[in-house]
């Protein structure tokens, strides 16, 4: 997912996407332990996307809290 696409998501959509990626990481660890995982780069890509989502989420949350304080 591109960063421009991530920025278009709402806060709830960001949280849902982060949760689904955490589940994907969890499942990947089981596949790795049972030698069923072919693509080990999955972990790096997934962690990277989670970090991007968390960054945008925190930016949006701080922006929305800043608007509430000034209102």
Whether the Cβ atoms of residue 17 and residue 9 lie closer than 8 Å to each other: yes
> Which residue, among 1, 17, 13, 22, has the nearest Cα to 60 in the 3D structure?
13
Task: For residue 29, give its domain range.
Answer: 3-70
DSSP string, 3-71: HHHHHHS-HHHHHHHHHHHHHHHHHHHHHHHTT----THHHHHHHHHHHHHHHHHHHHHHHHHHHHHH-
Q: What is the mean pLDDT of the chain?
A: 93
What CATH number is associated with residue 23? Answer: 1.10.287
Counted domains in the chain: 1
| 37-57 pLDDT tens trace | 999 999 999 999 999 999 999
Q: Model-level pTM?
A: 0.86
């Amino acid at each position: 997912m591109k960063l421009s696409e991530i920025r278009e998501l709402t806060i709830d959509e960001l949280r849902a996407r982060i949760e689904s990626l955490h589940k994907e990481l969890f499942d990947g660890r089981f596949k790795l332990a049972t030698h069923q995982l072919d693509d080990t780069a999955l972990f790096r890509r997934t962690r990277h996307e989670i970090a991007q989502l968390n960054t945008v989420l925190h930016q949006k949350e701080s922006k929305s809290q800043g608007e509430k304080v000034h209102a």
